[in-house]
Chains A and B, each alone.
Chain A
Amino acid sequence: MTHITVTVDGITYTDHVEPRLLLVHYLRDVVGKTGTPIGCDTSNCGACTVLMDGVSVKSCSVLAVQADKSDITTIEGLANGELHPVQRAFHEEHALQCGYCTPGMIMAATDLLRDNPHPTDEEIREGLEGNLCRCTGYENIVRAVRRAAEAGVSL
């Protein structure tokens, strides 16, 4: 077992974890951040995307021990009193149906807009290609990211 200290959505946790424990299992099973779901086991789907020190990572392909001393933001910590502009845009553009991919998609879109505040539709599609959605056909996700960009997202 290894000792780690991780800040998750503004609260600092210290835990003993198995070295093989995935960050996503740490978040879900140890910290209780079940807002971050798991959609695959090969890091293809992106459902488990969180921000690690401000940059999006697929938390299924990070070990909890690698997150030691880092600052994690999950979907549960994104809203700051009111909805984050990306969350609001997903709601307003009907960019989710079942909602399972949504936490990862929103976190990835947030990182995309940090990198590129004014992406073209093409750049949005390429920027989100690591996140799979089975419900929306992506049309409204692209619209939502565009809307959030127009609203001026800043982190």
Chain B
Amino acid sequence: MTATVESSAELGRARLRKEDARLITGQTNWTDNITLPGMLYMAFLRSPFAHARIARVDVSGARSQPGVIAAFSGADFAGEQGSLPCAWPVTEDIVIPAHPPMAVDEVRYVGEAVAVVVARDRYAAADALASIDIDYEPLPPVLDIRTALDEGAPKVHEAGNKSYEWVFASGDVDAAFSDAPVVVERTYRQQRLIPCAMEPRAVVAQWIDDQVTLWSATQIPHVLRFALSAFFAIPEQNVRVIAPDVGGGFGSKLQVTAEEVLAVLVGRRVGKPVKWTESRSEGNMTVHHGRDQWQYIKIAADRDGRIRGLSVDLLADMGAYLMLVTPGVPLLGAFMYPAIYKMDAYSLKCTGIFTTKMPTDAYRGAGRPEATFAIERIMDELAAELGIEPMELRERNWIKHEEFPFTTIAGLTYDSGNYEAATAKAMELFGYDGLRREQQERNDRGDPVRLGIGISTFTEMCGLAPSRVLGSLSYGAGGWESASIRMLPTGKVEVVTGSSAHGQGHETAWSQIVADQLGVPFEDIRVLHGDTLVSPKGMDTYGSRSLAVGGMALVGACDKVVAKAKVIAAAMLEASPDDLEFSAGQFSVRGDPEASKTIQEVALATFAAHALPDGVEPSLDSDATYDPDNFSFPHGTHLCATEVDTETGFVKIRSYVAVDDVGVVVNPLIVEGQVHGGIAQGIAQALYEEGVYDDEGNLLTTTLADYLVPSASDLPSYVTSRNETQASNRLGVKGVGEAGTIASTPAVVNAIVDALRPLGINDITMPCTPERVWRAIQSANGSTTNTSAANTSGGAA
């Protein structure tokens, strides 16, 4: 390892972000800011029906509207628009229906694009949509995955409503359950969520000759470039994709969208640059949604609380089509149900089902929040059933710190962790014992405002990578990441990363890593990303992979720079490379510290190239591609205290403590920010957000007035801290992008149920709105039955 203690000045330092200067002064380059000469604006006409046959489309009326240059229906592109790709065929017999970017014969969700107008300004384009005539023949919608596979149910696609069934089993599940002293069985609902990145999607496409440049508010410029070539017949060398400043993604911009493909095709057809920016209400309908699963989970245990087995039957709503990784999202959770616990047997069956709704796909955590919710919820239920304190039950079952590396029943090998240490720290910060005493006192005196304590001792698999593992799961791409280091003649450094950031702070964190590795000042480093011309190779940003994979690629590239520079420095110092050591940016002769050259001096000498050793190329620039052999496994203990007003159903989060182990921290400021935001998004699922369709398949939550993204006044302050065990990569890093979201949802719901359990309530369906909490209290009446069935209907808003 080239880094030494001395040269590690940047790792762990709370550097203020380089990105901020342009973001706080309004100099940001969002896609919607782009204006090109002659640029035209697109507007889409979208289906008002959840399911209908398209009998006739006539766009000629729109063509004669003021300012309109062209108008097209799906049929106008039938020969070239192909089908939007699904890169994750999880089983051999999976049904992947054709998914034309613009519907031709049939629409299958409200909001599906059916026609496009191209006009000289966005107002004219929007106005002309009203002049398009379409005759629809409505078909029955399919909205409930629990009944979609019933005989005689209306079909979303000709092939039926089942996309796939995926099964996993490890250990003897029948034996684990057959004579188990205790079996607890529950049904959990993962409501549909709408990602709501603050920046709406936007695209600009410009053709010059046979080359196209696509600017898009995307997380995945590299994957998008590949997809445009592989699936839409545009030669790869002629495609450039630029993700300028991107305003958040959370998985929602990990997609190859209809609008991106159509911008490219329409731009080619009209011979002018075209632009499209969605409205929020358009985006809520047509940016892929997240979650939407029913989880049937049962757990078998001995009387002393030892878990014997776990069995999960999962129904996952695919929506109308399979998009980029739609079918794989539940599988990212499939390996996480056993979480941090030891057990003898585990099985999971996942059925992917089509409905006439917006397709689901990756949303922050993607599969792992769902799994973590179910296991952490049922651990509390098992604790209640056994009369064991819920933290005590977890402790009896979790992997002890001395047992790492540990291979779980799901087959994952966790490399590091210390659940005891994170939990002890969290309990102390939270004042766990004191809150338990207060809870008892309030229960004893019949306080109408009940106190509840929620636990989430979560882990996750992230750093989405090992290409071999992804291949074994039938994923369509690899998981490596790429980096290049360019040593400029004046000693400054350009860092090119394939991991395209959209709020994560790569420009700062990557500078810190490279500053340490090369011993150059943080300020002398510029990080370049998000443009396939500048950064031609990459797998982009999702799945908390940037640091654990992309960061390691940086280290590999720096190693190569140092190795090349060492040979040249040795020649400059008239010494053998073997006698040189490299520390804090200096090559010095061992035993003669006066004889030294800085890496900047070597860079200049390499540029001049007057006196390089024979056979040495005049360049220090280096590329590296890193592919790890395992995922990384951040973990932590999150504790939530809620006060639940039994008279109004209102839930107030009184305190929230998170102790996370994300491995070595490059920048604590950025890590803390990621944890805060993650917790907020998980709390939002627990308390506020739900994408609701009515009985006819209309989305009711198209605006931020209906879809309740929480504001500052809806959320608590968080107490965050860390424990650190090193991941088994050279940086020791694990990733932090999704941890908070994965952890917090069950912590909050466990706290609410904990508050209400004395009233006979053992579940509240998310989001736990005051109405749902109040109704659960009204219908419980002291009974001890599973209360989830009583509050599963009704909207969120």
Where the two chains meet, the residues of A that have a C-beta atom closer than 8 Å to any C-beta of B are: 18, 20-21, 28-29, 33-42, 44-45, 47, 74-76, 78-79, 83, 87, 90-92, 94, 96-103, 106, 121, 124-126, 128-142
Contact = CB atoms under 8 A, between A and B. Distances in A.
A134 B676 contact: no
B248 interface: yes
Contacts of B677: 97, 134-137
Contacts of A45: 198, 280, 704, 709
Contacts of A139: 676, 717-718
Contact of A33 (B26, B30, B248, B502): B26
Given A38-B200, A45-B704, A132-B198, A138 B715 contact: yes
Interface of B: 16-17, 19-28, 30, 32-33, 121, 123, 196-200, 245-248, 250, 277, 279-281, 502-505, 669-670, 672-674, 676-681, 703-705, 709, 711-715, 717-718, 740
B676 A121 contact: no
A28 B202 CA distance: 15
Contacts of B22: 99
B248 A129 contact: no
25 contacts: A21-B123, A33-B26, A34-B26, A37-B199, A39-B199, A41-B280, A75-B25, A94-B17, A94-B669, A94-B673, A97-B503, A97-B505, A97-B677, A99-B23, A99-B24, A99-B28, A100-B247, A102-B24, A128-B711, A128-B713, A134-B248, A134-B681, A137-B680, A138-B676, A138-B715
Contact of A98 (B26, B247, B713): B247
Given A76-B25, A97-B248, A100-B247, A137 B279 contact: no
A36 B26 contact: yes
A74 B670 CA distance: 27
B711 A99 contact: no
- Rank and list the top 6 A-B pairs by shortest CB-CB distance, nearest first: A35-B26, A100-B247, A98-B503, A99-B23, A137-B680, A44-B704
B717 A40 contact: no
User: Which residue, B24, B709, B715, has most C-beta atoms of chain A within 10 A?
Assistant: B24
A135 B673 contact: yes
Interface-centre pick from A99, A126, A133, A141 (highest chain B CB count, 10 A): A99
A8 B676 CA distance: 35
B25 A132 contact: no
A141 B712 contact: yes
A98 B679 CA distance: 17
A131 B714 CA distance: 12
Nearest to B676: A137
A134 B676 CA distance: 10
A34 B30 contact: yes
Contacts of A42: 280-281, 703-705
A39 B200 CA distance: 6
A138 B676 CA distance: 8
Contact of A100 (B16, B199, B717): B199
Contacts, number: 181
Contacts of B718: 137, 139
Contact of B712 (A36, A91, A99, A128): A128
A134 B280 contact: no
Given A40-B280, A99-B24, A125 B198 contact: no
Nearest to B707: A44
A131 B711 contact: yes
Given A75-B25, A125-B713, 12 more contacts: A33-B26, A39-B200, A39-B280, A40-B704, A41-B703, A42-B281, A45-B280, A83-B24, A94-B16, A94-B17, A134-B198, A139-B718
A98 B674 CA distance: 11
Contact of B24 (A106, A129, A142): A106
Given A34-B30, A42-B280, A99-B503, A91 B711 contact: no
Q: Please indicate which of the listed interface residues A131, A133, A134, A137 has the most CB atoms of chain B within 10 Å of its own CB.
A: A137
B655 to A, nearest CB: 13
A149 to B, nearest CB: 15
B670 A94 contact: yes
B25 A35 contact: yes
Contacts of B281: 41-42
A127 B71 CA distance: 45
A124 B715 CA distance: 12
A34 B248 contact: no
Residue picked from B200, B277, B279, most chain A C-beta under 10 Å: B200
A130 B710 CA distance: 10
A45 B598 CA distance: 50
A130 B25 CA distance: 21
B247 A99 contact: yes
Contacts of B704: 40, 42, 44-45, 132
A140 to B, nearest CB: 6
Nearest to B505: A97
Contact of A40 (B24, B502, B703, B714): B703
Contacts of A103: 26
Given A90-B20, A97-B505, A129-B712, A136 B673 contact: yes
B737 to A, nearest CB: 11
A41 B713 CA distance: 21
B197 A136 contact: no
A108 to B, nearest CB: 10
A44 B717 CA distance: 22
A121 B23 contact: no
Contacts of B740: 137
Contacts of A134: 196-198, 248, 250, 677, 681, 709
Contacts of B19: 99
A102 B199 CA distance: 11
A33 B6 CA distance: 46
A4 B45 CA distance: 33
Contacts of A28: 32-33
A29 B673 CA distance: 33
Nearest to A93: B669
A61 to B, nearest CB: 13
Nearest to B667: A94
A141 B24 CA distance: 13
B381 to A, nearest CB: 28
B645 to A, nearest CB: 18
Contacts of B678: 137
Contacts of A100: 28, 30, 197-199, 247-248
A77 to B, nearest CB: 9
B198 A96 contact: no
A99 B674 CA distance: 14
Contacts of B713: 125-126, 128-129
B712 A39 contact: no
Contacts of A142: 712, 717
Nearest to B678: A137
